[in-house]
Structure 1
Amino acid sequence: MTSSKLHQRKLLAGLKLHHLLDGHEAKGHARTSAINKLELKFEDQEAQAHAHS
């Protein structure tokens, strides 16, 4: 087996794992996006505070 074939296999395995994780994360995605929005809002406020100073 060539190294490029092995590399392709690793990539495929990684993609499969990634898809599994994506499916798993989809369940918690609503909560995650809510947290992300809060973090973004906080970052925006910090950025505005820095802009005013």
Structure 2
Amino acid sequence: MIMVDSSVWIDYFNGYETPETTKLDLWLGIQPISIGDIILTEVIQGFRNDSD
């Protein structure tokens, strides 16, 4: 299981292409990925619109 940091999730959702976001994209649906409650809170706070 892999834990992904909030900075990687934020870059991923904003469409930035980095080595970390590329690996995350490859692992989604294949590799178990965990996210901590603090990381989830940081990622959710980063969205500008409620619909996102």
TM bracket (short chain): under 0.3
TM-score, structure 2 as length reference: 0.26
Normalising to structure 1: TM-score of the pair? Answer: 0.25
